Amino acid sequence: MLIRQKKFSDIYGHKHKSKFKKKYQNPFIRRPKKKSFNLSFKKLIVLTIVSTFFIFLVWLCIYSSLFKIKNIIINGTGPINKNELLDYVWSETSKGKIWPQNNLWIFNSSKIVLDLKKEYYLKNIKINKKYLSTLEITFEKKDYAIIWSEDNKYFYVDSDGDIVSGIDPKNIKKGEYVFIENISTNKISNNKISLEPANIDFAIKLFKELSDKKFSMVINKFFVDNEINVIKIKIDAGPEVYFNTKDDLYSQTANLLDIKNVRMKNNFNKLKYIDIRNGDKIYYRN
C-alpha cells in the first residue's frame, strides 16, 4: 500500500522560511547617499549672503562716494602754474568708467607721476592718499641754468641737463641765461639734453667770465657740435672761439684776451676763428 506523507508546508499551510537567510552586498561598490534637502538649502542661503556682502563691499569701496576724491592739495616749489597743474589732475580723475579714477584707491598715481615729469618737468614727485577723499601732490620744480636751442625749439634746462620747460623765443631775455644752440647730431632724449652737467657748468662760468667789461665783446651765441668736450662761441661781428671744457677756463680766457688786445689788436674782428683748446698752442685764421 502506498502511503503518502504530508509535507510540512501542507500541514501548516505555508512554506517554511529560514530566519537565518542573509543578504550579501559587494563591499567594493559604493551606493549613492541620499542628499539632504535641508543641507543644500542652508548652503544656498550662506552662498547668497556671502555673494551679497561681496557685491556690497565692491560697491562701497569702488562706486560709492565714500572713497571718492573730493580734495586735491598741491604743494610744490619753483616756477609753475599750480592752477594749471590742479586742472590737469582733476581732468585725470574724470576718466575711467569700470575702474573710476575718481576713487582714491584706484587712482593711478604711477601714471600721474610719469605725466607730470614729462609735461611739467617736475622732480621728487610724491602722491599721498590721505583720509578717505584727499589727494596730496608734492614736488620740486627744477631751477633754470641755461637756455637750450635745438631744431628751432627752445627750452629751459637745469644744471643736470634735464629740461625744465619749453619757452617761447619771444620771451627770451638776452643775457639772463647762457644761450646754447645744439647743431650736433646728438638730440634730446628722455627730456635730457646731450650736454654733460660738467660742460653745462663750464658754459655758465664762461658766460659770466666773458660778461666782464675787460673783454668788451658781445657774444651772439654759445653752440655745440659733434666735437667732444668743446664749447664754441660766436662773437658779434667777430670770430668764433673754441674752448676745451676739460682744460682750465681762466687760462683759456686769458689767452683770448691776449689775442684781442695784443696779438691781433687791429685785426681781431677780421678773424674767422680762434682755437685756444690746447694750452699755449693757439691757432687762429683770417
Q: For 271-286, give the DSSP string.
A: -SEEEEEETTEEEEE-
| pTM over 0.85, yes/no | no
Give the pLDDT mean for 107-129: 83
Quote the domain boundaries for residue 172.
146-285
Pairing of strands 122-130, 134-141: antiparallel
Query: How many domains is the chain built from?
Result: 2
259 and 132 within one domain:
no
> What's the CA gap between 178 and 245, in Å, rounded?
15
Assigned domain for 115 exists: yes
217 and 111 within one domain:
no
Nearest CA-CA partner of 277 in 238, 257, 251, 259: 251
Asked which of 114, 141, 168 is the last residue of a domain, the reply is: 141
133 and 78 within one domain:
yes
CATH number for the domain that contains residue 95: 3.10.20
Q: What's the pLDDT at 71?
A: 92
Q: What's the pLDDT at 40?
A: 82
Assigned domain for 50 exists: no
> What's the CA gap between 128 and 107, in Å, rounded?
11
- For the cut 70, the answer to whether the pLDDT of residue 269 exceeds it is yes
Q: Please tell me whether residue 60 adopts helix, strand or coil conformation.
A: helix
Q: Kindly report which listed range (11-25, 41-55, 86-100, 173-187) carries the lowest average pLDDT score.
A: 11-25
User: What is the separation, in whole angstroms, between the first and last Cα of the chain?
Assistant: 168
Q: How confident is the model at residue 29 (pLDDT cuts 50, 70, 90)?
A: low
274 and 248 within one domain:
yes
136 and 198 within one domain:
no
Nearest CA-CA partner of 145 in 185, 215, 196: 196
